[in-house]
Amino acid sequence: MRQMVIFGLGYTATRIAAQLQAAGWQVSATGSAGDIDFEDDAAVTAALAGASHVLSSVPPADGVDPVLARYGDSLHHEWIGYFSSTGVYGDTGGAWVDETAAVVGRGGSGRRAARSDADAAWLAKGARVLRLPGIYGPGRSAFDKVRDGTARRIDMPGQVFSRVHVDDIASGALAALSAPPGAYNLADDLPASGAAVTEEACRLLRVVPPPLQSISEAGLSPAARGFYSENRRVANGKARRVLGWRPRYRDYTSGLAAILAAEGTDGN
């Protein structure tokens, strides 16, 4: 029986765990939904000793990757995976970026540097590093923001972001189980502005979109303002070629429509 240890059984990793278990895998995990306490060194070490595969979805904290810091010396497994971020590429002015592009911020300070350093450290471990853009899916999409009144339409002509449906991350991670080590971008085929996604969600819900605002009018948090300071399109060609992966939801329109259909609702 194949055995997987997942560090951080959260929104995305939960879906991967469910699919592995359905295929007959034994899965142990840390996190609030897991069966192992991350702080219990003996329990984690025992789980790792019995595992063939390890996946971490835990981001850096306080400038350090907590999984590598605590358990890095125990990671010598048949397969290692890590969820990174396409934020490691920095701002490209809207240009397309693939895995051959430079990763920015390594060796520096701040959130980007921590993420970039973790990305490099997991690659050095021989991991399949899955670089993810904005994640959306059931319970975590533009619909939720529209419904709770927090949706915004920021007027920034020419600015786009890439995104990926949570189920497409799961299928990409499963495809990576038979792939060589390295970095892989998992993103859909249609980068788009946040405003366009909000507008589509409002169209499907049959509600009036929120007004267009400048970034200063929106009253965004520093983290959100930082998000809007970058502009890039993420290419998924390597994942298609090497993993044989294809996003089921090739763009935000199909992804949002599927979420609404799964809810069993028709607009309002």
Write down the pLDDT at residue 247: 98
Q: Which of 22-36, 37-51, 103-117 has the lowest mean pLDDT?
A: 103-117
Per-residue pLDDT tens over the stretch 68-117: 999 999 999 999 999 999 999 999 999 999 999 999 988 777 888 999 99
The answer to whether the CB of 198 falls within 8 A of the CB of 145 is yes
Using alpha carbons, select from 153, 119, 145, 156 the residue that is nearest to residue 231. Answer: 156
Within 10 A of 18 (CB to CB), how many other CB atoms are there? 12
Structure confidence at residue 226 (pLDDT): 77
Confidence of residue 219 (pLDDT cuts 50, 70, 90): confident
**DSSP secondary structure letters along 90-107:** ---TT-EE-TTSPPP-TT
The conformational region for residue 188 under phi > 0 = left, psi -120 to 50 = alpha, else beta, is beta
Extents of the domains making up the chain: 78-266
Mean pLDDT of 153-171: 95
- 3-state class (DSSP) for residue 7: strand
What percentage of the chain carries pLDDT values higher than 90? 85
Q: So what's the pLDDT on residue 243?
A: 97
Q: Work out the angle at residue 13's Cα, subtended by the Cα atoms of residues 12 and 16, and round it to the nearest 5 degrees.
A: 100
Is 0.75 topped by the overall pTM? Answer: yes
pLDDT confidence of 43, banded at 50, 70, 90? Answer: very high
When pLDDT is cut at 50, 70 and 90, the band that residue 227 belongs to is confident
175: which 2 tokens? 């495809």
- pLDDT band at 215, cuts 50/70/90? confident
**Residue 216 has what pLDDT?**
83
Q: Going edge to edge, which strands form the sheet with 79-85?
A: 26-29, 3-7, 53-56, 79-85, 128-132, 182-185
Residue 266 has pLDDT above 90, yes or no: no
Q: What is the DSSP letter of 62?
A: T
pLDDT at 37: 97
Inform me whether the pLDDT recorded for 23 exceeds 60.
yes
Q: What pLDDT score was predicted for residue 195?
A: 95
Two tokens, residue 215 = 């970034």
Question: In the predicted model, what is the mean pLDDT of residues 217-245?
Answer: 89
Identity (one letter) of the amino acid at 182?
G
CATH topology of domain 78-266: Rossmann fold (3.40.50)
**Cβ proximity of 145 and 197 under 8 Å:** no
Question: Mean of the pLDDT values across residues 173-180?
Answer: 98
Residue pLDDT, tens place only, 181-205: 999 999 999 999 999 999 999 999 9
C-alpha gyration radius of the chain:
19
